[in-house]
Amino acid sequence: MTTRDFTMYFQQIEKSHLADVMALEADRMANLQLTDKEFKPEMNVVKEERRMRIDDSARATVYEQMLAVLFNAAPYRNPTIGWPSDLDTMTVQDAQDWYHKWYAPNNATVVITGDVNPDEVFRQAQRTYGKLQPHALPRRYAQDEPKQVGVKRIWVKAPAENPYVVLAYKAPPLRDVEKDVDPYALEVLSAVLDGYDNARLPNLLVKGKDEKGGRLADDVNAGYDGMNRGPSIFLLDGVPADGHTTAEIEQALRAQIDRIARDGVTEAELKRVKAQVVAAQIYKRDSVFGQGMEIGMAEMTGLSWRDLDRILEKIKSVTPAQVQQVAKTYFTEDNLVVATLLPQPIDPNKPVRKPVPGMREEGGLR
C-alpha cells in the first residue's frame, strides 16, 4: 500500500513463519527484477483502480482537484496513484529505476507486533536485513509553499446525484512533540466540530438543532491529521439537504469556526471531546495490526514510536484558549481552497465497474 508519505508492505502471520516472511521481504528489498510481462498487466490493474477510485467517484475527483490547487510546491498536489498521463507513459524501466533509487535497508523501517521474543526478532532481522548493503539516497529538498494571497475556488463537474462542497485550510503538521501546541489544539477542534454524535456540526447542521431549527445538510464532516511528512490540511465538507445549496453549507461551516474563534469552547465541552479523542486513539491499539500501523506511521512521518503515549498526554492538556486561538489563526482567506461539485447527469447505461483481479479492497496503490 502506498500513501502520500510512504509505501508499506504488511503481513499478518502465525509467529512460527516470521523468519520466512522476513527473509522474503529482505529478498524483495534487494533482488526485485521487473519484466514487461509482469509490468503491463499490473499497470492495467492500477489504471482500473484509478478509474474506480477516482474517475468514477465524484467526491474523489473533487478532492483530487482540490489538492492540485491547494498546493503549489508540495508534492501532495499530485495524486498518489498518478495522473492518467503518468500511467500511460510509465515504463518498466521507470519502475525499476525507482526501485533501485529508494529500496534500501537505510530507507526502511521494520515493525513487528505480537507475541514474539524481542531478542529473537532482532537476531533474525540482523540475519536477513543486516546483510543487505545500504546505498546513498537521493537528497530530499525542502519544498516550502509560497504564501497564498486570497481564497482559491474551483468548481468540478462530475456525474453525481447531489452537490458537495469541501473547504480545505492549510495547517501545520506535528513536528516537535514537546514544543508544538497548535497541532494538538487542531486535533481537539476537529473533535469539537465532528468527533461524536452530538458534536457541533452534525447537531446543528444535520439534526437542525440550531436557533433556526432547520435541517441544512444531509452530511457534514471535519477532519485534521497532523502526522505528515509535509504540510497538513484541516478539512470541512458537506452535502446540502433538499432545498439548500453548497453556498449555504460553506457559510454555515465557516460560521461555526467563526463562532469558536469569537466565543471559544467551554471546559465541559472540551473535557467530553478530549475523552472522545483519547478513546479513539486508544481504540486504534485494540488490535496487534492497529498497533503496528500506529508505530509505523509515527516513524515514517518523522516522529518516534516512543512519542505515541506522550501525544495522548499533550492532547489531554489542550486548553479552551488554545482551541480558540487556532480557530482564529488558521481559518483565514489566505489559507483556504473551496472546491464545489456541480452534479452532472448520471448515464443510466454506463456499466458498473467490478474490481479486477489484484485490486486492493481499499484505496491506495498496491
Whole-number pLDDT of residue 196: 85
Q: How far is CA 276 from each of CA 29, 180, 187, 196, rounded to the nearest angstrom?
A: 40, 21, 11, 7
Instruction: Determine the longest span between alpha carbons in the chain, in angstroms.
Output: 68
Residue type, 23: A
- Mean pLDDT score of the chain: 92
Which tens digit of pLDDT belongs to each residue from 304-322?
999 999 999 999 999 999 9
Q: Which residue has the higher pLDDT, 208 or 342?
A: 342
Confidence band, pLDDT 50/70/90 cuts, at residue 210: low
Q: Count CB atoms within 10 A of the CB of residue 327.
A: 24
Q: Provide long-range contacts, Cβ within 8 A and 24+ apart, for 15-24.
A: 15/114, 15/115, 15/116, 18/112, 18/116, 18/121, 18/124, 19/124, 19/128, 22/110, 22/124, 22/125, 22/128, 22/129, 23/128
Confidence band, pLDDT 50/70/90 cuts, at residue 45: very high
168 CB-near residues (< 8 Å, 6+ apart): 66, 67, 70, 233, 234, 235, 336, 337, 338, 339
Whole-number pLDDT of residue 353: 63
Q: Map grid coordinates 466565543 to a residue.
A: 263
Whole-number pLDDT of residue 29: 95
Whole-number pLDDT of residue 142: 80
Q: Map grid coordinates 481499499 to a residue.
A: 362
Question: What is the layout of strands, in order, in the sheet containing 336-344?
Answer: 152-159, 336-344, 164-171, 232-240, 217-224
State what percent of residues in the chain have pLDDT above 70: 94
Confidence band, pLDDT 50/70/90 cuts, at residue 366: very low
- The average pLDDT across 176-197 equals 95
Q: For residue 76, is pLDDT > 70?
A: yes
Q: Map grid coordinates 518523522 to a residue.
A: 302
- Contact assessment for residue 25 and residue 124, using Cβ atoms and an 8 Å cutoff: no
Angle CA(316)–CA(322)–CA(324) in degrees, nearest 5? 125
| Cα gap 25→223, rounded to integer Å | 34
Closest to 103 in 3D by CA, of 140, 142, 137: 137
Closest to 169 in 3D by CA, of 148, 185, 155, 196: 148
Q: For residue 91, is pLDDT > 80?
A: yes
Domains of the chain: 15-131 (3.30.830.10), 152-344 (3.30.830.10)
Which tens digit of pLDDT belongs to each residue from 7-39?
999 999 999 999 999 999 999 999 999 999 999
Whole-number pLDDT of residue 362: 41
Which tens digit of pLDDT belongs to each residue from 146-185?
999 999 999 999 999 999 999 999 999 999 999 999 999 9
List % helix, strand, coil for the chain (3-state, nearest 5). 50, 10, 40
Q: How far is CA 239 from each of CA 152, 201, 247, rounded to the nearest angstrom?
A: 20, 12, 11
Least confident of 151-160, 241-250, 267-276: 267-276
Whole-number pLDDT of residue 170: 97
Q: For residue 363, is pLDDT > 50?
A: no
